């Protein structure tokens, strides 16, 4: 019974897509911003987030395999970006968050997952700026 439930959960996942709000895998419907590049939300975050653009909803793929998911998560954890965190100054390994508003102004502002999740008290960046997740180095 539990194996059937896990298989059903895998079928409801979007392979290689992660929520840009909670940073988790997306199960069920995926909501993708029709303006921001690579900005996706899971169902739970979509209902509770304010965002200035419209979203396109996608139903989950049905052919996701567990070994593919494991490979993607493993690759994500090892991703080395040729970028450093503008908060702590460390090289970014894993998830890189880039300010979309700064990028539009031809500036690059990157954060590591740690500084984005738990910013230091002395950290300052405009609160109305949106961040997009850069998962794989280009």
CATH number at residue 19: 3.30.60.90
Same domain? 46 vs 4: yes
**Do residue 72 and residue 85 come from a single domain?**
no
65 shares its domain with 130: no
> What is the domain extent for residue 40?
1-78
Terminal Cα-to-Cα distance of the chain (whole angstroms): 41
Interatomic CA distance for residues 66 and 54, integer angstroms: 32
Confidence (pLDDT) at 61? 54
pTM flag (> 0.75) = no
What sign results for the dihedral spanned by CA atoms 41, 18, 16, 25? Answer: negative
pLDDT at 118 over 70: yes
Average pLDDT over residues 123-129: 85
Each residue's pLDDT tens digit, 61-112: 554 444 455 445 555 555 677 889 999 999 888 778 888 888 877 888 999 8
Residues 51 and 90 occupy one common structural domain: no
- Structural domains in the chain (count): 2
- Residue that the structure tokens 């439930």 belong to: 5
Give the residue among 12, 44, 39, 15 at the shortest CA–CA distance from 28: 12
Residues 93 and 73 in one domain: no
Give the C-alpha separation, 83 to 85, whole Å.
7
pLDDT band per the 50, 70, 90 thresholds, residue 6: very low
| 84 or 4, greater pLDDT | 84
The answer to whether 83 touches 110, Cβ cutoff 8 Å, is yes
> What mean pLDDT value characterizes the chain?
76
């Amino acid at each position: 019974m539990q194996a059937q439930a896990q298989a059903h959960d895998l079928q409801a996942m979007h392979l290689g897509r992660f929520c840009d709000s909670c940073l988790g895998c997306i199960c069920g419907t995926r909501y993708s911003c029709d303006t921001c590049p690579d900005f996706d939300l899971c169902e739970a975050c979509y209902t509770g987030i304010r965002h200035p653009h419209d979203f396109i909803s996608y139903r989950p793929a049905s052919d996701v395999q567990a070994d593919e998911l494991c490979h993607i998560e493993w690759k994500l954890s090892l991703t080395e970006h040729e970028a450093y965190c503008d908060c702590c100054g460390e090289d970014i390994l894993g998830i890189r968050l880039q300010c979309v508003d700064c990028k539009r102004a031809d500036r690059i502002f990157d954060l590591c997952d740690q500084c984005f999740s738990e910013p230091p008290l002395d950290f300052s960046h405009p609160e109305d700026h949106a961040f997009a997740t850069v998962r794989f180095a280009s």
